[in-house]
Structure 1
Amino acid sequence: MAVDPETLNPVNYSDAGALQIVNLLFQSMLSADLADDKIKPFLAAEMPQVERQDSVTLFTYQIREEATWTDGSPVTAADVAFTLKVLKAPLLNNEFLKPQVQFIRDIRIDASNSKRFALVCAGYSPEMELLTGDFFILPAYLFDPEALLQPIEVAALSGGLSELENNENLKAFAAKFNSQEYGHSTAMLQGSGGYLLEEWANGQYLALKRKSDWWGNDIPDAPHLTANPERISFQVIPDNTTALLALKNRQLDVLENIEAAEFDKIRNDESFKEDYSLYSPDAYEFVYAGLNTRSPKLSDKRTRQAIAHLLDVTSIIQVSQRNYATPTVGPIPPSVQEYYNSSLELRSYNADKVTSLLSASGWQKEQDGWYKTINGQREQLTIEVNYKAGSTAFETAAIIFQQRAAEVGIPVQVQGMENSLLSTNLRRHEYEMFFRSLSGNPFVYDFQPLLHTTFASEGGMNVTGFGTPESDSVLDAINRTESPQEKAKLLKRLQEILHEEAAFISMYYRQDRLAVHRRFDNIKVSGLKPNYDVSAFTLQE
């Protein structure tokens, strides 16, 4: 790890490294099995039963009978209720996960079965099945031994919360929960997972040890529940060069996020490959270009299509990613074959097509550039491109775009800027073009915030202003449908519209790069972070 986690509190962790460790200590009802990237029951005995009623949907869960906490007491529905209170209550450091559970309005615990409960959810969308089970369950006995939150009902946390800010019990709990102890203490960070935090030497390492008699061992129907290594040590190495040297000296068993140039070198090192296997799975993170459709210069889709043809994605991948990336026609990963629209043609740099499209859009080529009369004013086609300062990948993309545009007579200015300023400018619609990346997963395809016109006003996430009546209708239908076949049809149509409108232009999906020592077996490599499940590792025979 490059740095120590800020906290391992399962409610307010803030980085992927912390999440990897929290995953070994705590569990959620459902989670992804990195062997096949499928959602499976973890704490839950099975996938939830779904019952749709008028304006609410009930998701009923059964916790595994075997599931216990570190002290041997059972994991119960009361622990789920406690966790929801922690996620939803005011005064607590829970802003990271609070939006994820806003739609959960209440919990109904089965009076005859302490391990069975139903979550009462507002409305319905297919991704609710995952979201109702995708948060770490906390042990109430350990996190709230004085039962301070017990008198507060989950249902009371779904409306206005101002009155609760003066609740003495809640204030007393918040003072403890928000303290450093709840995110760093080996005594506090004990969940239902197979590991305990044994030692945290700040700036050096974090060591986890396997529980001696973990409940998840040998459950016949759940081979994805694993705690195989006896001890797992995460080394804190701030410098990439030092980390790679440690790997080459056989001091590390696993290293991820290896820089592309260095990955190429070790791929050609035969002695290194005798000891290590190398992997480059397709990640669920894509790079895209956004164009401001509100700009008079960019309002015609033919102009935007011309710009899309100036995005020399092949060269950008070659230079910035050293070919560790996969070009894409839209925001669906090409690896998700059932949803990816393979009938669409990947756009490539084509000067003749650019010229033809610009002419069709009303631009006229003159000696010093392209001109067009817009709203009675003679305008030259110039473009300012913004990206996050410090990102070599975005900077490279911007420079290559600038070079290709110059070849057809379009002046382009490139400008790196601090990320928060860039975000502010995008939401104010004060830009022409930008490069950014987005991370996702293969389970949820809710593109409404990014692409629906209801999110296109100032301050909304649809910063490009993309949207047609048909695209809005398709986005709504994607969120409603329960049929995989219908979802596939709708997602492919969405990709066609995005391709045609050329405002939100998906370019490529990154590939991750990692090395794992060959002495290990049962290595589940995935494009999902953290790219491997260390709890599943076994030693080669």
Structure 2
Amino acid sequence: MTPPMTPVCAKPRRRRLAALTALAAVFAVLATACTGGGGTAAQDVQDSYKTLPKESGKPTDGGTATVALTPGLSPNYIYPYPPASANGTVIARGLMWRSLYRPSGEGDQIADTALSLAEAPAYSSDRKTVTIKMKDYSWSNGRPVTADDVVFSLDLLKAALKESPANWSFYTPGQFPDGVTAKATTPDTLTLELDTAYNPSYLLSMLTLLYVMPSEEWNIARTGGPHLDHSDPENAKAIYTYLTKQSESQSTFADNPLWQVVNGPYRLKSFDPTTGSFSLAPNKEYSGPGDSRLDQVDFKSFTSAAAVLNQFKAGKLTVGTLDSSFITQIDALKKQGYHVYGAPAPARFDPLVLNFENTTNNFDKVIARPYVRQALQHLIDQGGYVKSRGVYNGAASPNYSTAGSGSPYPPEFGDQAPYPYDPAAAEKLLTDNGWKVVPDGSTTCERPGTGPGECGAGIPQGQTIDFTLSSANTPAYVGARDIAFASQAKKLGVEVTIETKSLNYLYTNYGNSFAPANKDKWAAQDYGPLYLAAGYPSSNTVFNTGGSFNLGGYRNAEVDKLIEASTFGADPTVLSTEVTSLSKDLPVLFFPTPHTLVVWKDTLSGPPSSFNALLSFLYTPELWYFREQDS
């Protein structure tokens, strides 16, 4: 999940009039593109970007790479674990502070062992004792990265969660790090004692989220104060409070000596609190892979995908992503000296999130009926959206599961959609269950009750199916696909009212797990992608009852059992059963997965894997270099 799906931060809402004008313009395109009308059907352009360029050229030392951040998401926090109240995304967390295991950008791997701080974990026969050998890494002040640094990081994470379970979006009460006792048995050996055995694949995915912080430099509760024993929970709480308070001072990010102690390949050189743009300089003591040949890496914030494209055209960006709405610009960018590579990111799916707890107009009662969710999924023309010049412009792949593209744990139905685009099937599902369908009108419950052929529990006679869909204002395909869906729903007599919100607003305000007071303010939301762990895309925390990122309050006892099995059981293949069950029960509706289009100057090179990782927004500029130009 990275959000990201794991990022959270807020920006002002766009003016409603401007948003409605933009939506109307997109709808005009969709009116022909999604129905196949006219002669403007998008061409399949995948052959122009699906090949990953090879590493090339003789490396030179120096130079500055300018990287475009995701439009609409500007960092405003620096401590690796921001509290829920911070509403912030973190600056270059994986580049300044490495997680114990570096996440992999490959679909069949959980961790990139070469870029990790430790060797692969070793398990006891009962899987309750885990021994981890640290690699030879150093902090920027020259001190070795030790097992106690990992223990310190766990102690502070536990302190954060004791203060509020919402302080870590990957947390489910009773699970990691609950019941985990960490000990530094030697300076380079970490031992984890687990009250409950985890599936090794799942535990490894959690350890990719454990950022390792400096125990000897950050174990203070006030500036210049004494160093504290972080194993004491009261001390850990005091340290956590101090560090998060320091992280609120954006103007001091680059000057505060706390934040200069890093174990990753870079340190913070400058930060602009107004825009969220920042610059990194090499950590001279970094001892991991990569020569950090670049003198500097500048990360630049943007408010729109169009602004990113303009900077590419002006030659001012070295690396970034291209919105699929600008796919016709690929040839021009290549002629200008850019590589363009695209594919679906591993373990990514694009959900229309449903709010099972929204009581407005009995939405909770209506959406609880599986046949309603199935009918709505039948209205999503995935193939049409992919081809449409107004939605994906050919740069997407159909997807009907939580596992995403190319997963080692695919659903049992393979590529066959459980609920393919079929408006007639959608209408039949409603009529067979007591609804009077009025195309382009108002479909209502005609036969209330809980028996066969009746609408279902809590749905009164005359009940309509109408709800709001909160749609992110970026990237462009989000609004486009939401309009296409709402248009098709209207033909079935289902009224979907689109409300455009900033991406950061959705991340901050629309989640029942962390903003329960707002549960009646949204019925569905589309914020774009949801990323699970590459290599082991468990839906733990996302779709289990009480999961910290279960935004819509979805509950299914059978799914809970499957998620528990994939989390705690010894057999990882049960994950396919979990994926299948979720995909059929529809806790969310499924949109196609856009291809992430990565763009970089052909004067920049490095291992192909480092550019493939950009599909998941994993940056490894320490592996990049500007190549020597032909004379």
1:441 corresponds to: 533
Query: Per-residue CA shift, 1:405-453, capped at 9, x if unaligned?
Result: 3334x1414142764665459888758952434332324444254444x
Q: What does 1:201-280 align with in structure 2 at a 5 Å threshold?
A: 206-212=278-284, 214-216=286-288, 225-240=289-304, 241-256=306-321, 258-262=322-326, 264-269=327-332, 272-273=334-335, 275-280=337-342
Residue 553 of structure 2 is aligned to residue 481 of structure 1: no
8 Å CA contact 1:11–1:94 kept in 2: the answer is no
Indicate the SS of the match to 1:109. strand
Match of 1:515 among 582, 589, 599: 599
Distance apart, 1:536 and its partner CA: 1.3
Indicate the SS of the match to 2:559. helix
CA distance in structure 2 between the aligned counterparts of 1:63 and 1:24, rounded to whole angstroms? 18
Cα distance, 1:133–1:361 mapped onto 2, change above 3 Å: closer
One-letter code aligned to 2:217: L
Match of 1:360 among 412, 428, 432: 432
8 Å CA contact 1:302–1:358 kept in 2: the answer is yes
8 Å CA contact 1:309–1:354 kept in 2: the answer is yes
8 Å CA contact 1:12–1:93 kept in 2: the answer is no
Q: What does 1:33-432 align with in structure 2 at a 5 Å threshold?
A: 33-34=104-105, 38-41=110-113, 42-51=115-124, 57-64=128-135, 66-89=136-159, 96-97=167-168, 100=171, 102-103=177-178, 105-110=180-185, 113-126=186-199, 127-132=202-207, 134-144=209-219, 148-153=226-231, 156-157=232-233, 183-185=253-255, 187-188=257-258, 189-200=260-271, 206-212=278-284, 214-216=286-288, 225-240=289-304, 241-256=306-321, 258-262=322-326, 264-269=327-332, 272-273=334-335, 275-283=337-345, 284-290=348-354, 292=356, 295-298=364-367, 300-317=369-386, 318=388, 319-341=390-412, 342-345=414-417, 347-365=419-437, 369=443, 371-375=445-449, 378-379=461-462, 381-388=464-471, 390=473, 393-408=477-492, 410-416=493-499, 419=506, 422-423=510-511, 430=520
Indicate the SS of the match to 1:59. strand
8 Å CA contact 1:389–1:417 kept in 2: the answer is yes
One-letter code aligned to 1:254: V
8 Å CA contact 1:267–1:278 kept in 2: the answer is yes
8 Å CA contact 1:427–1:460 kept in 2: the answer is no
Distance apart, 1:132 and its partner CA: 3.5
One-letter code aligned to 2:448: I
CA distance in structure 2 between the aligned counterparts of 1:261 and 1:531, rounded to whole angstroms? 23
Q: What does 1:15-34 align with in structure 2 at a 5 Å threshold?
A: 18-19=90-91, 21-34=92-105
How many residue pairs align between the two structures? 507
One-letter code aligned to 1:120: E
CA distance in structure 2 between the aligned counterparts of 1:372 and 1:76, rounded to whole angstroms? 67
Distance apart, 1:353 and its partner CA: 1.9
Cα distance, 1:149–1:89 mapped onto 2, change above 3 Å: farther
CA distance in structure 2 between the aligned counterparts of 1:304 and 1:201, rounded to whole angstroms? 45
Cα distance, 1:428–1:171 mapped onto 2, change above 3 Å: closer
One-letter code aligned to 1:405: A
Distance apart, 1:305 and its partner CA: 2.3
Q: Which moved more, 1:336-345 or 1:422-431?
A: 422-431
One-letter code aligned to 2:131: T
Cα distance, 1:427–1:504 mapped onto 2, change above 3 Å: farther
Distance apart, 1:312 and its partner CA: 2.6
Indicate the SS of the match to 2:261. coil
Q: Which moved more, 1:203-212 or 1:345-354?
A: 203-212
8 Å CA contact 2:154–2:210 kept in 1: the answer is no
1:221 corresponds to: none
8 Å CA contact 1:85–1:149 kept in 2: the answer is no
8 Å CA contact 1:427–1:463 kept in 2: the answer is no
Larger radius of gyration: 1
CA distance in structure 1 between the aligned counterparts of 2:542 and 2:165, rounded to whole angstroms? 24
1:505 corresponds to: 589
Query: Per-residue CA shift, 1:252-284, capped at 9, x if unaligned?
Result: 21122x33233x232132x74351111223132
CA distance in structure 2 between the aligned counterparts of 1:242 and 1:299, rounded to whole angstroms? 41
Indicate the SS of the match to 1:354. helix
Query: Per-residue CA shift, 1:74-127, capped at 9, x if unaligned?
Result: 2222322333333333699997449656326432222xx321121233423222
Distance apart, 1:345 and its partner CA: 2.2
Gaps of 5+ in 2: 1-68, 358-362, 450-458
Distance apart, 1:515 and its partner CA: 0.9
Q: If the length of structure 2 is used for normalisation, what is the TM-score?
A: 0.68
Distance apart, 1:343 and its partner CA: 4.9
CA distance in structure 2 between the aligned counterparts of 1:451 and 1:348, rounded to whole angstroms? 22
Provide the identity percentage: 13
2:617 corresponds to: 530
Structure number with greater CO (CA < 8 Å, separation at least 6) is 2
Cα distance, 1:87–1:402 mapped onto 2, change above 3 Å: closer
Q: Which moved more, 1:292-301 or 1:271-280?
A: 292-301
Indicate the SS of the match to 1:134. coil
Distance apart, 1:47 and its partner CA: 0.9
8 Å CA contact 2:141–2:285 kept in 1: the answer is no
Q: Which has the higher strand share?
A: 1
Cα distance, 1:316–1:15 mapped onto 2, change above 3 Å: farther
Indicate the SS of the match to 2:128. strand
Cα distance, 1:377–1:130 mapped onto 2, change above 3 Å: closer
Cα distance, 1:175–1:338 mapped onto 2, change above 3 Å: closer
One-letter code aligned to 1:312: D
One-letter code aligned to 1:278: V
Cα distance, 1:94–1:176 mapped onto 2, change above 3 Å: farther
8 Å CA contact 1:449–1:462 kept in 2: the answer is no
CA distance in structure 1 between the aligned counterparts of 2:307 and 2:365, rounded to whole angstroms? 50
Cα distance, 1:230–1:364 mapped onto 2, change above 3 Å: closer
Distance apart, 1:203 and its partner CA: 5.8
Query: Per-residue CA shift, 1:304-334, capped at 9, x if unaligned?
Result: 3222212233344433333333221121102
Indicate the SS of the match to 2:93. helix
Gaps of 5+ in 1: 217-224
